[in-house]
Structure 1
Amino acid sequence: MSTRELLLTAPLAGPLLALTDVPDPVFSEGLMGPGIAIDPLEGQLFAPCAGEVIQIARSAHAITLRHDDGYEVFMHVGLDTVQLKGQGFQLDVHEGDRVSAGQLLLRFDLDTVAQAARSLISMMTVTNAEGLSMKMLTTRQARVGEPLLILQGQTRLATDPDSSLSEPHAEGSAMVAHSGGLHARPAALLREAVQPFSATTHILHNHLRADAASLVSLLKLGVKEQQRVMIECRGQQAVQALAAAIQALEHPAARVRAAASLALVPASLSTPPKHGEGVIQGICASPGLAMGPLWKPEALTLPAERHSRQGAAAEQAELDKALQATGVLIQQRIDEAQRRGQDAEAAIFTAHLALLDDPELLQDSQQYLNDGLTAAHAWHAALERQCQILAGLDNLLLRERISDLRDVQRQVLRILLNVQLTFDPPRGALVAADDLSPSELTNLLDAQPAGLCLAGGGATSHVSILARAAGLPCVVALGESLMHLEVNVPLVLDASAGRLETAPDSARLTAVELELRTQAKQRERLRQAAQDAAITRDGQTIEVAANVSHLAEARRAQAEGADGIGLLRTELLFMDRTQAPTQQEQRSTYQAMLEAFPDRPVIIRTLDIGGDKPVDYLSLTPEPNPALGLRGIRLGWTHPQLLDDQLKALLQVQPVQRCRVLLPMISEVGELLQVRQRIRDLAAELNVPPALEVGVMIEVPSAALLAEQLAAHADFFSIGTNDLTQYTLAMDRCHSDLAAHIDALHPSVLRLIAQACAGARRHGKWVGVCGDLASDSLATPVLIGLGISELSVGAARIGEIKARVRQLEAAQCRQASAALLDLPNAQAVRARCEALWPVL
């Protein structure tokens, strides 16, 4: 440990502001380090200390000095001034110059910057001040050259480098390109990248040194995005290891970028919740209103006996066994996430897997075992020590890393203690938990809770998706204070507003109870009415079918009034197994679906799986652009036996006339004709009539543009608006940063839907929609107006969509929808729809 202190003088003249008041999260959340903001009254920036100019922004709006003690002082004039491209700025120094305290660094024109930039507010931060405290010497007006603040404290310095200088070695540097910096997933990628090589790799940053084999050591560096790190490699393959490390840091794969982007969600959501009067604010994951007593699942507790009676060797054997068993479980989660195409989720579990054999964690655990602790207490203490170290770095982004450690800590302890936590809340309770796994939520739903409150989590997580599918009101990211609330106290969850009301008075409870009764009556009315056909006011019938994945879902949809199955996703039948399902197994499954809907049509989509959703028994090469690669019908041609077995199973269901086959990812007429011929050949081989109706999914723009040609050979179309929207707008629908911009009511998407309907009409074929747009009641009149006659939705939305259809006149929908195609964007379309067809 070394005592460090830095005195900084004011670089600008003007009123002082706290960084937390800066309208830019990069500064207000401390991502650039501690410091101060100044609203400048004069257009001159001076050096706050002596040092070397190590970086000047190309647009001259930011300068970084390195103090002789190693501090890096970052100064940034204005907000969004990079857009000025240097206009209004004049440098008085160059990179590499030595400057003294108070020396003029930069001049800028106040009027030019004020008119063109978002704000003149300017910042001074110390980017490598982890572990130091900041003391302000004035809180009023800054005067150039006067003492402004002191950074002081003790910080760990770098360890001595390797002494084995005779070994082959290689050195280099890399700019960390991962969104969010070197957090758990990028660190795991780096560790994985250098592991195959016969060399030791160390990363150096801010006087700290980390072994790349240790995930925890890498995390403690606190490296942020776009910060440069030094890399040292020693060993026979030092050069190869260096190249791999640079590649891993500077050129993350697309799936890792996605994971890093998602990693920021829990971190940012983990900030302390906003408290009003008896309110904890979170994020809506599944809308709705709920009320009930708070209930928490059983906590995981350690045995009172801390010290071992069987010795360190026996305890080590138990810990090793538990680590191995946990690794198997985590690998299963990785495989499951990859099968679903959830690369970001798989990356999270991969980081967890890396923690199980992290050298630093294992070394700490072994030390605690040698001190006489049991395996459970040793593992708990080792993980707890690392969590405390990360928490001490005072960096918001590290909260997610602590969450990763605690998750792994919990998983191993459950096996060591042979504890299976039960989820059995009273019916109608509000369940409060830190977070839940999908399997835990599935078990929880059987108890029929009123709502779900999570301290962590994110609105795009798997649990959130499951909660929405189940119609369970859910709020995530409520913060740690959630877990300190008393149980069995009635609370109100306004999930639509992302609020948990912790102190509702009797009047509020009465009002909510009345509202819930009204909603329940409305749902029941919709459910009963859903048994009848959905007919517009001028007599047009619209089929409202169901999207399902398994038999239980189909039976629920039938009870809710679905007019059939509009989309059976067959992927689940092929996942989580060591070999493909047999023809007989498939036939039994498909037959059960037909029997769940007597006298109703059942549309079964052929296997829609590919490079982004691999299965164990298929040798599918990972693809850089899986959405554009080998998926859907394209996979059927590369694995013809899979397609043949599925088509044979479909040809043998009874009655085959009610079974319609839907082909995914068709992009041209030849593909459809090829499948048609294959069905005829297989029917002849089985000696059955080729009576299957064959439909085409319109989910790529080429299919919509060729709709008239396709309709000459297809029996129907079903539009997959999710994929059609992402391909039309060139936006990955799994990309969290683009989620707000991916809207299927975009005029370009509507034009393709209109073209598909027009092409089908010319050949007398019908068109349905099975994508998420079908469940959007605001879009119902638009789709009817464009020519859609079938909507396939989730079971919970059937009553609502049928009721919406009955409010409309098809002729008026047709007349008004044409004008929507000429609007400039999706927001304008939605605004016009709300004016024309308000949702009652």
Structure 2
Amino acid sequence: MLTLHPDDVLLACRADDWRGALDAAAETLQRGGLVTAGYRDGLHTREAQSSTFLGNAIAIPHGTAESREHVKATGVRVLQFPEGVDWHDGNRVHVLVTIAAQNDEHLDILRQLTHVLDRDDVAERLAAADSRAEIAGLLSKAAVEARLDADTLCLGFPARDASELALAAAARLRQAGCVESAFVAAVANQAPRALGQGLWLVTGEQGVITPALALATSASPLTAGDSPLTGVFCLAAQGDAHRGLLERLVTLLESGEGHALAGADAATVMARLAGESATALTRRVRVLNAHGLHARPAKQLVQAARAQGVAIRVRLAEGSGQAVSATSLTKVINLGARRGQLLQFSLDGNDIPAGEAERALEAVCRAVTEGLGEAVAPFDESREHHLPEPEVVIEPLPEDAPQAAVAASPGLAIAPAFVLRTPRFAYPERAADPAAENRRLDAALREGADQLEALVGQARGGEVAQILSMHEEMLTDPELHQAAREGIAEGASAEAAWWHAIETAAHAQEMLADRLLAERAADLRDVGRRVLGILCRVELPEPPDAPYILVADDLGPSDVARLDTARVRGLLTARGGATAHSAILARALGIPAAVGAGERVLRLENDTPLILDGDRGRYTVAPSDERLAAAEQRLADQRRREAEAWEARFAEAHTRDGHRVEVAANLGNAAHALDAVERGAEGIGLLRTEFIFMAHASAPDLETQIAEYREAIDALDGRPLVARTLDVGGDKPLPYWPVPKEDNPFLGLRGIRLALTRPEVLETQLRALLMASRSRPLRIMLPMVKDVGEFRAVRTLFDRLLDEIPEAERATDVQLGVMIEVPSAALLAPSLAAEVDFFSVGTNDLTQYALAIDRGHPDLSAQSDGLHPAVLRLIEMTVAAAHAQGKWVGVCGELASDATAVPVLVGLGVDELSVSARQVPLVKARLAEFDLAEARAQATLALAQPTAEAVRDALEVR
């Protein structure tokens, strides 16, 4: 975006007339290397078309679209004429803001300048200014705009009282980036004030970044005392900038329309808060001008509105700002309307006869449709909203050379490629018969539900059925249905209305948090595409009957669940992350997968030979005979090892020379504990207890948690259970525990930090674990501990529970430990080891924090390797500190199942490896392939390397 700087200002310029001023402006741009000489003619031609006088002694000359060929670089120059220049339209100009723009960036400058047009003294101050900084400051200092839009609304929140609604509204402002955590904390400590009409208010000034107003309404009727409770407004106040928001709120209450917000959707709420009454007559019209409502067409619109002699207001229909007077040039320009956007004009139906109001609205809409003095082209939404992607030159994939991707599901696959190209859904945007469109949508929703139900019945593995069941829930979401029906009522086709509802909901979910929720938004789009495909009768191409590796842009969970595992040898995608549901399902189905390989894999021809390495996240195109033979031998060896490992899965895990290393299973659900035992797990090394919290609409009570934990404990039949306390936060929020949006949730309020903010929830969980494990071994570990202070805070609570609960009613063989996920915990391991009972190293998070690489980053995640020597040194420090105090150390991250890493971890002294249940037999078999001396040698070798790649290379040579 163009910006104004003092260095761009020229003081004390003189010109005999406006033509001379334009010549001086052109010369200044040329001297600055921004344009060639031909741009001068463009300035004059543009001025001949219409005056560029903006107001308050300011003109903004710029070239025509044709003269852009003379622009060498985008820039701006400001020329001050203290004596003034008579402009050709009769105005007096003291400042030229002259723009050289290679596209429409001059519109950004125009919108920045509109704030000065309503200030009475600006013209005189610009003429008298004697410093460049003063002029730049006068032109650039825009008033802070207070925010009120759809992203600050939290409608239908499942709250129990006004305080919870206030906190939800404050959290929404935090998520929108308007306030900091201090604001949320301040709101939590105040009682909402009644405004009347079911509405309440909380305000705060601490921690305000941008003044804003949020509204949280209740999902069900509530009362506060004897008064109705519809919703709570939360005002982030700052100086006088929020005054306009308060005025809008007062106007709403004075109009008596506060009650109308009960159960209202976002569009209705924004209409009322925008100043449109329930009785207002409204009309919408699309902006057709190529460059939107810039100065010239905005003038024409204002003149058309003034000619009606009534108070017409206008706002962006898709936006959420206040409706402004259509007769104010500065306010119309400041809407920033672009081509294709809808303007909503309104008239209060109580002020004038309906017929007169309709005629006035029709007149201004007709003026917009006719182009407001400019030649315009019709707007073809299907073409302009679905423009083809610009052609990108993608280098062909090299043959017989391993290429990097992101490891998503372990295993090796050798097969020809089958490229699944994303289907294109062609459909009309508009439809004439809303009733018929609703019937079509209902039929598609029923068919989609039947498909999902069939897939759930066929699903293999717990994760598959659970995720597809979640898709069934999404498909029955009444808000999605209502949003689609509203679109149909406004004239949209069933396809367009449905997809708009899906995209709106998915975008809102992406805005709530970081990577994990963004990937769950992909689930929503997966559901949406299913129904869209039914409506459009688009079917995916049939894969070959022979085995193949599926190559695709990305895969939704239902795509993965449909796969015929007898034919699909592996998955390779251009996009996606290792934590997406599609990757989780691939692991559950035992299909090797590599993701995030880049768009060029989509250029592969069907039947191209591929080798896919899901362990390392690599793939090889058209391998040579030698490489293919080596891979086939490796695959044969792998299958043999898997068969042998399965047969020996119940044997005690130890190295070849008898050194004992326990192999346990990581579980995301207590129901899978029996399966883990049947696969040879010697215990559960990580039970992610958040599964039970995510499965309930509110925090599960003591009895519910006891029953869930006991299912796993009973299945283990005396084997130890290591349960991680609730690990949620900004990147994994709970719907009933709102957490303010954080710029980086991985460095924010999560894990034990979050749990300690609500100690009553943590206490209930600890009590449930202790009582469920009566007479059975229990290990409890705390996530995201950074130092001994956090551990002590939990230990105090834990010791109190041990005293309160009779020994006969709780676990007696119990330990309390911490996860080493934060580098500070590893560095301070000696102080922690003196007080904790054990350590469990979470290598996934420890690696990303140590290397400053998000393991889900599409470009960098391949570099997030736990075998990096820095990570290994942190593990070495942790083990040394623990063993010095007689404490044990486990590893529960993905590194524990990496065949190359297993001997290194054992050589570093790790006592337990906890892996996915499917990997238990293979890890046990891997331990039996080396002795302790070899493991220590490999650990020493790895620690001596400078990079993770060097570590892997050195270990492969051995």
TM-score bin, normalised by smaller chain: 0.5 to 0.7
User: Is the 1:274–1:280 contact (alpha carbons within 8 Å) kept by the matching residues of 2?
Assistant: no
Q: Tell me what 1:807 maps to.
A: 929
User: Which of 32, 35, 50 pairs up with 2:38?
Assistant: 50
Question: Structure 2 CA distance, aligned partners of 1:381 and 1:618?
Answer: 28
The C-alpha deviation readout for 1:734-771, integer Å capped at 9, x for no partner, is: 44444244333333333322222121112111111112
Shift of 1:732: 3.6
The C-alpha deviation readout for 1:148-186, integer Å capped at 9, x for no partner, is: xxxxxxxxx99xx99xx9999999999xxxxxxxxxxxx
The C-alpha deviation readout for 1:781-820, integer Å capped at 9, x for no partner, is: 3322222111112233333333332233323543663575
User: Is the 1:663–1:696 contact (alpha carbons within 8 Å) kept by the matching residues of 2?
Assistant: yes
The C-alpha deviation readout for 1:457-515, integer Å capped at 9, x for no partner, is: 435554235424543134667979979989xxx8855323546779x99x999999887
Q: Report the CA distance shift for 1:584/1:425 in structure 2 as closer, same or farther (over 3 A).
A: farther
User: Which of 598, 608, 611 pairs up with 1:494?
Assistant: 611
Partner AA of 1:451 in structure 2: R
Shift of 1:452: 4.9
Partner AA of 2:745 in structure 1: P
Shift of 1:661: 1.0
User: Which of 286, 289, 295 pairs up with 2:413?
Assistant: 289
Shift of 1:313: 3.8
Partner SS state of residue 756, structure 2:
helix
Partner AA of 1:714 in structure 2: V
The C-alpha deviation readout for 1:417-451, integer Å capped at 9, x for no partner, is: 8999999998967667664322442x336855533
User: Is the 1:707–1:756 contact (alpha carbons within 8 Å) kept by the matching residues of 2?
Assistant: yes
User: Is the 1:169–1:235 contact (alpha carbons within 8 Å) kept by the matching residues of 2?
Assistant: no
Q: Report the CA distance shift for 1:167/1:727 in structure 2 as closer, same or farther (over 3 A).
A: closer
User: Is the 2:405–2:862 contact (alpha carbons within 8 Å) kept by the matching residues of 1?
Assistant: no
Question: Structure 1 CA distance, aligned partners of 2:501 and 2:909?
Answer: 63
Larger Rg: 2
User: Which of 661, 677, 697 pairs up with 1:542?
Assistant: 661
Shift of 1:604: 0.8
Partner SS state of residue 816, structure 2:
strand
User: Is the 2:412–2:611 contact (alpha carbons within 8 Å) kept by the matching residues of 1?
Assistant: yes
Partner SS state of residue 792, structure 1:
strand
- Superposition CA RMSD, Å: 6.4
**TM-score, normalising length from structure 2?**
0.50
User: Is the 1:546–1:565 contact (alpha carbons within 8 Å) kept by the matching residues of 2?
Assistant: yes
Question: Structure 2 CA distance, aligned partners of 1:416 and 1:292?
Answer: 33
User: Is the 1:316–1:366 contact (alpha carbons within 8 Å) kept by the matching residues of 2?
Assistant: no
Partner AA of 1:495 in structure 2: L
Q: Tell me what 2:127 maps to.
A: none
Q: Report the CA distance shift for 1:300/1:282 in structure 2 as closer, same or farther (over 3 A).
A: farther
User: Is the 1:169–1:232 contact (alpha carbons within 8 Å) kept by the matching residues of 2?
Assistant: no
Partner AA of 2:868 in structure 1: H
Q: Tell me what 1:533 maps to.
A: 652
Q: Tell me what 1:754 maps to.
A: 876
Q: Tell me what 1:121 maps to.
A: none
1:89-238 alignment runs, 5 A limit? 198=274, 208-209=291-292, 235-236=323-324
1:376-395 alignment runs, 5 A limit? none
User: Is the 2:666–2:916 contact (alpha carbons within 8 Å) kept by the matching residues of 1?
Assistant: yes
Partner AA of 2:762 in structure 1: L
Shift of 1:635: 2.3
User: Which of 893, 909, 921 pairs up with 1:787?
Assistant: 909
Q: Report the CA distance shift for 1:730/1:453 in structure 2 as closer, same or farther (over 3 A).
A: closer
Indicate whether 1:648 and 2:767 are aligned. yes
Q: Per chain length, whose mean CA-contact separation is higher, i.e. which structure has more relative contact order (CA < 8 Å, sep 6+)?
A: 1
Partner SS state of residue 209, structure 1:
coil
The C-alpha deviation readout for 1:592-647, integer Å capped at 9, x for no partner, is: 22233334222111111123321111132222332232222222222222212211
Shift of 1:589: 2.2
Indicate whether 1:450 and 2:447 are aligned. no
Question: Structure 2 CA distance, aligned partners of 1:622 and 1:244?
Answer: 28
User: Which of 438, 444, 449 pairs up with 2:557?
Assistant: 438
Question: Structure 1 CA distance, aligned partners of 2:877 and 2:500?
Answer: 64
Partner AA of 1:444 in structure 2: R
Q: Tell me what 1:394 maps to.
A: none
Question: Structure 1 CA distance, aligned partners of 2:582 and 2:931?
Answer: 38
Partner AA of 2:708 in structure 1: T
Question: Structure 1 CA distance, aligned partners of 2:498 and 2:116?
Answer: 35
Indicate whether 1:778 and 2:900 are aligned. yes
What are structure 2's unaligned runs of at least 5 residues? 1-32, 43-61, 80-100, 120-138, 143-174, 178-209, 214-266, 277-283, 295-318, 338-387, 450-465, 467-474, 503-521
User: Is the 1:423–1:440 contact (alpha carbons within 8 Å) kept by the matching residues of 2?
Assistant: no
% identity of equivalent residues: 36
Question: Structure 1 CA distance, aligned partners of 2:422 and 2:941?
Answer: 57
Q: Tell me what 1:704 maps to.
A: 826
Question: Structure 2 CA distance, aligned partners of 1:97 and 1:241?
Answer: 24
User: Is the 1:725–1:743 contact (alpha carbons within 8 Å) kept by the matching residues of 2?
Assistant: yes
Q: Which moved more, 1:764-773 or 1:727-736?
A: 727-736
User: Which of 315, 318, 333 pairs up with 2:436?
Assistant: 315
Q: Tell me what 2:591 maps to.
A: 472
Shift of 1:579: 1.1
Partner SS state of residue 752, structure 1:
helix
Q: Report the CA distance shift for 1:775/1:167 in structure 2 as closer, same or farther (over 3 A).
A: same
Question: Structure 2 CA distance, aligned partners of 1:405 and 1:757?
Answer: 43
Indicate whether 1:603 and 2:735 are aligned. no
Q: Report the CA distance shift for 1:475/1:245 in structure 2 as closer, same or farther (over 3 A).
A: farther
Question: Structure 1 CA distance, aligned partners of 2:802 and 2:663?
Answer: 31
Question: Structure 1 CA distance, aligned partners of 2:681 and 2:501?
Answer: 54
Q: Tell me what 1:263 maps to.
A: none
Q: Tell me what 1:634 maps to.
A: 753
Partner AA of 1:721 in structure 2: T
Q: Tell me what 2:66 maps to.
A: 69
Partner SS state of residue 66, structure 2:
coil
What are structure 1's unaligned runs of at least 5 residues? 1-44, 55-64, 77-92, 99-125, 130-156, 175-187, 212-230, 247-265, 329-339, 341-348, 384-402
Partner AA of 1:637 in structure 2: L
Partner SS state of residue 292, structure 2:
strand
Q: Report the CA distance shift for 1:482/1:825 in structure 2 as closer, same or farther (over 3 A).
A: closer
The C-alpha deviation readout for 1:100-148, integer Å capped at 9, x for no partner, is: xxxxxxxxxxxxxxxxxxxxxxxxxx9659xxxxxxxxxxxxxxxxxxx
Q: Report the CA distance shift for 1:375/1:236 in structure 2 as closer, same or farther (over 3 A).
A: closer
Q: Tell me what 2:14 maps to.
A: none
User: Is the 1:720–1:769 contact (alpha carbons within 8 Å) kept by the matching residues of 2?
Assistant: yes
User: Is the 1:577–1:616 contact (alpha carbons within 8 Å) kept by the matching residues of 2?
Assistant: no
Partner SS state of residue 546, structure 1:
strand
Q: Which moved more, 1:821-830 or 1:414-423?
A: 414-423
Question: Structure 2 CA distance, aligned partners of 1:382 and 1:769?
Answer: 44
Shift of 1:540: 1.3
Shift of 1:719: 1.0
Q: Tell me what 2:861 maps to.
A: 739
Indicate whether 1:621 and 2:740 are aligned. yes
User: Is the 1:67–1:73 contact (alpha carbons within 8 Å) kept by the matching residues of 2?
Assistant: no
Shift of 1:409: 7.4
Q: Report the CA distance shift for 1:550/1:355 in structure 2 as closer, same or farther (over 3 A).
A: closer
User: Which of 713, 724, 731 pairs up with 1:594?
Assistant: 713
The C-alpha deviation readout for 1:290-318, integer Å capped at 9, x for no partner, is: 44897989999999x9999xx62423555
Partner SS state of residue 793, structure 1:
strand
Question: Structure 1 CA distance, aligned partners of 2:600 and 2:103?
Answer: 29
Q: Tell me what 2:186 maps to.
A: none
Question: Structure 2 CA distance, aligned partners of 1:319 and 1:457?
Answer: 32
User: Is the 1:547–1:770 contact (alpha carbons within 8 Å) kept by the matching residues of 2?
Assistant: yes
User: Is the 2:38–2:70 contact (alpha carbons within 8 Å) kept by the matching residues of 1?
Assistant: no
Q: Report the CA distance shift for 1:672/1:473 in structure 2 as closer, same or farther (over 3 A).
A: closer
Partner AA of 1:50 in structure 2: G
User: Which of 845, 868, 885 pairs up with 1:723?
Assistant: 845
User: Is the 1:280–1:499 contact (alpha carbons within 8 Å) kept by the matching residues of 2?
Assistant: yes
**TM-score, normalising length from structure 1?**
0.56
Q: Report the CA distance shift for 1:799/1:53 in structure 2 as closer, same or farther (over 3 A).
A: farther
Partner AA of 1:565 in structure 2: I
Question: Structure 2 CA distance, aligned partners of 1:542 and 1:512?
Answer: 30
